[in-house]
Chain A
Amino acid sequence: GDSVTQMEGPVTLSEEAFLTINCTYTATGYPSLFWYVQYPGEGLQLLLKATKADDKGSNKGFEATFRKETTSFHLEKGSVQVSDSAVYFCALTGNQFYFGTGTSLTVIP
C-alpha cells in the first residue's frame, strides 16, 4: 500500500545552516507529494507540494523535488532561521492522505 517514510529527528541546527529532511515514499498510481509544517500549538499548514514527477515545490526558501526514479521528496533550505523551528511532515495522496511521522527541527541562534 501507499506509505511515507521520513527522516527521524530531532534535528538541531545553527542559524544559517543548510537543512535537508529526507522523505521517501511507496505509492501505486500517480501520487501527489506534500510537505506540511506544524508550529507549536497549531495545526498543520501546507508548506509546498508537487503533483507530478520532476515538479519542484517551493515556498519561504524551502524546496523539494518530486523524484520518481528514487521515490523521494527531500525537503531543503539553504539557510535556516530561528523562526523555522517546527515539526515537518511529508505526505502523499493516493486514495487517502498518508503522513510520515514528522521531523522536529530546532534552530538555535
Chain B
Amino acid sequence: NAGVTQTPKFQVLKTGQSMTLQCAQDMNHEYMSWYRQDPGMGLRLIHYSVGAGITDQGEVPNGYNVSRSTTEDFPLRLLSAAPSQTSVYFCASRSSGRGDTQYFGPGTRLTVL
C-alpha cells in the first residue's frame, strides 16, 4: 500500500498561473479531503468528497476547484494563483465509519510569487 500520494512535493508559481495538485489513494476510501496549512492557523479544509462524483466546499474554497471522477484520485486545481495561496497543501482520505482514521499525504509546498 502506497497510502496517500501527492505530487508535486514543491512548486513555485507566478501570480495568475494555473496548476493542478495531484492526490491519489490506494485504500479504496470513500472520503477524500484537501487542507491547507499556514503558520498559526492549523489545518483548514478547502474541499472534500464523500465519493466519486460528489464534492463539497469546506472552510476556505475560494480560488480552488476539485473533481472526483474515480475513487482513487482527487485533484485540486488553482485556476489563477495568488500570493495568498502560498501554503502547504495536504490531501487526506478515510473510510466512512465514524471512528475511522484519516490518512494524510506528505504534502505539497506551494509558493506563489
Contacts and interface: CB of A to CB of B under 8 A. Distances in A.
A101 B41 contact: yes
A93 B99 contact: yes
A13 B39 CA distance: 22
A89 interface: yes
Nearest to B40: A101
A42 interface: yes
Interface residues of A, number: 20
Contacts of B100: 93
Given A43-B90, A43-B107, A99 B42 contact: yes
A2 B33 CA distance: 18
Contact of A30 (B45, B98, B103, B107): B98
B61 interface: no
B51 interface: no
A70 to B, nearest CB: 20
**Interface residues of A, dominant DSSP:** strand
B10 to A, nearest CB: 11
A102 B90 CA distance: 15
B98 A51 contact: yes
Residue among A51, A91, A97, A99 with most chain B CB within 10 A: A97
26 contacts: A30-B98, A32-B98, A32-B99, A34-B101, A36-B104, A42-B106, A42-B107, A43-B90, A43-B105, A43-B106, A43-B107, A44-B43, A44-B92, A45-B104, A46-B103, A49-B101, A51-B98, A91-B102, A93-B100, A96-B58, A97-B33, A97-B45, A97-B92, A97-B102, A99-B42, A101-B40
Can you list the 9 inter-chain pairs with the closest CB atoms, starting with the nearest? A51-B99, A101-B42, A43-B104, A32-B99, A44-B104, A99-B43, A43-B106, A46-B101, A43-B107
